[in-house]
Amino acid sequence: MSAAPARQARPIPRTQPTRGARSAPQRHLRAVAAPEQSRSLVPFAWLCALIVVGALGAVLLINTSMAGGAYERRSLKIEIADLHAQRAAVATELERNAGPEVLADHATALGMRPASVLGFVSLSDSVVIEERGR
43-94 residue pLDDT tens: 999 999 999 999 999 999 999 999 999 999 999 999 999 999 999 999 999 9
Q: What's the total number of domains in the chain? A: 1
Residue 107 lies inside a defined structural domain of this protein: yes
**Average pLDDT over the chain, rounded to an integer:** 84
Model pLDDT, residue 75: 96
Which residue segment(s) compose the domain that 81 sits in?
43-113
The CA distances from residue 43 to 40, 49, 50, 55, in Å, are 7, 10, 10, 18
Model pLDDT, residue 37: 81
Q: With H, G, I as helix, E, B as strand and everything else as coil, classify residue 24.
A: helix
Residue 36 lies inside a defined structural domain of this protein: no
Residue 58 lies inside a defined structural domain of this protein: yes
Residue 19 lies inside a defined structural domain of this protein: no
pLDDT tier, 134 (very low <50, low <70, confident <90, very high otherwise): very low
Distance CA 97, CA 109 (A): 14
The pTM (predicted TM-score) of the whole model is 0.44
